[in-house]
Amino acid sequence: MDESALIKAAQSGDVNAFNSLVLAYQQIAYNVAYRVLGNSDAARDATQDGFIRAFRALSQYRGGSFKSWLLRIVTNCCYDQLRAKKRRPSTPLDDLVEDDEHTTILADDTETPEAHVERDELGALLQRALKSLPDDQRMVVVLCDVQGLSYEEAANACSVALGTVKSRLSRARGKMRDYLLQRPELLPDSLRQRFEAPV
């Protein structure tokens, strides 16, 4: 069954059809939430809340990219989580960057332990760089660069104009690069040369 048929069935109240859509999009939804929030528990809550809201608001879906529509709901849930965290600050995000739930998984059997550690460290560095961005810029850079959405899809998901996505992405990339340039010792040797300024 294709996506539009599943959506129509879900709109008529078919829970199994909606769960098929959930299975198709839960990976990207959870990863967006995880990269934006930097916390697996908060990302899980935001993703689950996003799917519940999507099911509740399925009658308001008027066509177009279902992925963008769904990510729009998930990003709103992420913003809610961020606002709640700002209202009730509990644990600093620095302690949660290295999430044990996702750092102990090997990419494949051929990966050496050194390469695995290097990958984890680079992932943690990038996550800290993402955390240093403002919420709006972090959302755009996660959607466009991490998840590979187009400018149009990102604009739809963030409910902003296309030019806003372009400018936010440009500023976010510049800040990310500056963050990495200030910490070259944390980069792998292969990448460190690319960040060395020409003499």
Partner 1 sequence: MNHTRVRDNLSPYLDGRLSPRQAARVEAHLRDCPECRFELESLRTTTALLRSLPNVPVPGNFALSASAVKEQTGFRRLNVAFGALRGAAVAVALMFLLFVAGDAYLGMGRLAGTAAPMMKQSADSAPEMAPETARPIAEALPQEQPIELAQAPAPEEEAPVAFALEVEAPATESDGAALAAEVETVSEATERKAPIKRGVASAPSPKPSMPSAMGGGGEPPAPKAEPTMLPEPTTISEVPTPTDLPRDLPTATPIPSRVALLITPEPEPETMPTAVPQRVAGASWSLWRLFRIGSGVLLGLLVTLCGALLWVRARRQL
CA distance 48 to 74: 9
2, 95, 100, 105: residue in contact with partner 1 (rule CB under 8 A)? 105
| Burial of 39 per CB tally in 10 Å (0-12, 13-18, 19+) | buried
Find tokens 């859509």 and name the residue.
21
Amino acid making up residue 5:
A
Other CB atoms within a 10 A radius of the CB of residue 156 amount to: 21
Q: Verify binding: residue 19, partner 1, rule CB under 8 A.
A: yes
CA distance 139 to 130: 9
Report the helix count and the strand count for the chain, using DSSP H and E: 10, 0
Nearer to partner 1, 35 or 67 (CB): 35
Q: Rounded to whole angstroms, what are the CA distances from 92 to 51, 123, 140? A: 27, 18, 23
4, 12, 15, 182: residue in contact with partner 1 (rule CB under 8 A)? 15
Which residues, numbered 160-199, are part of the site for partner 1 (CB under 8 A)? 166, 169-170, 173-174, 176-177, 180-181, 191, 194-195, 197-198
23, 87, 92, 113: residue in contact with partner 1 (rule CB under 8 A)? 23
6, 7, 17, 34: residue in contact with partner 1 (rule CB under 8 A)? 34
Nearer to partner 1, 113 or 198 (CB): 198
Which residues, numbered 133-162, are part of the site for partner 1 (CB under 8 A)? 141, 144-146, 148, 151, 159
192 token code pair: 């460190």
Secondary structure class of 156 (helix, strand, coil): helix
Q: Which residues bind partner 1 (CB under 8 A)?
A: 15, 18-19, 22-23, 26-27, 29-31, 34-35, 40, 44, 47-48, 51-57, 60, 72-73, 76, 101-102, 105, 107, 119, 122-123, 126, 141, 144-146, 148, 151, 159, 166, 169-170, 173-174, 176-177, 180-181, 191, 194-195, 197-198
